[in-house]
Every structure is written in C-alpha cells, then in structure tokens.
Amino acid sequence: MRKEISSGGVVYFGNAILLLKKYNGDWVLPKGKIEKNEDTKDTSIREVFEESGVKADVIKYIGKIQYSFKNSWKNNEVINKTVHWYLMKARGMSCNPQKEEGFIDARFVHINRVKEMAKYDDEKNIIEKAIKEIKRPHGE
C-alpha cells in the first residue's frame, strides 16, 4: 500500500463556491498532490490556480478526508490518500479549467446548489463545513 498526501481548496466568492467539471461529467473541488518543498497551504493555492485559473487566498484550514482506492494503471495497487482542505476566498470569478488534467468546465455555483452538484460525499461534507464558515458572522 502506498500513501499519498494532497491538498485542495473550497474556494468562494460572495455566495458561490468553485467546482470543476471533469470530462466524465463529475463536478469536483480543486485539489492535487503536494510537491517537494511545499506545505499543504501552498499546495492548495497552487492547485486551485493550476486547475481553475482562479487566484485565491487561504482563509483557514477546514479539515481532512482520508480514503483508499485501487490504482487501475498500476496492477490495482492500493493507495491510501489523505486530502487536506482549506477555505479560500477568490480574488475574482474568472475561471479557466485545465484541459490537460481532464477538466472541461469551471464555475462558481451558488451555495444553495453546490452540494447537490458535487460528486463525492466526502467533498460534500467539506463543502458543508465551508458553507458554515462562510455564513458565520465575522469576528466569531
């Protein structure tokens, strides 16, 4: 079994959260593997920009998710993955999905609809945490 650590962002602008659409139709949050000499915060900023073209600033750490999967490209090797998530505020709403990574669309989705569009339950849970933070009055 191999371990992988990734980091991603729940990026908001106003009352909307950024989702990326993969070529297979799944809507997901931006995330990616940590590179050498990076921490999870730096990775989240880089991956959000690389995958969506959105520049965003980290507001706070909102949790991690862990799961295992079989890598069908490498003899079904089991990979145990940890993804660290940050709440991030976008500097603008202009998006440019990274086609090379299989993303065909990127858009900000209203917080009332974003959970139903997101593909994975663990990402829906992180989105729910993020929405609570976004709605929380400042200074609490």
pLDDT of residue 126: 97
φ and ψ of 135, to 5 deg: -80, -15
Find out if CATH 3.90.79.10 is the number for domain 2-135.
yes
> Does the predicted TM-score (pTM) go above 0.85?
yes
* Whole-angstrom distance, CA of residue 102 vs CA of residue 7: 18
pLDDT of residue 60: 97
Q: Is 78 exposed, middle or buried (0-12, 13-18, 19+ CB in 10 A)?
A: exposed
pLDDT tens string 13-61: 999 999 999 999 999 999 999 999 999 999 999 999 999 999 999 999 9
Give the start-to-end residue ranges of the domains of the chain. 2-135
pLDDT tens string 74-109: 788 888 999 999 999 999 999 999 999 899 999 999
Residue 139: pLDDT over 60: no
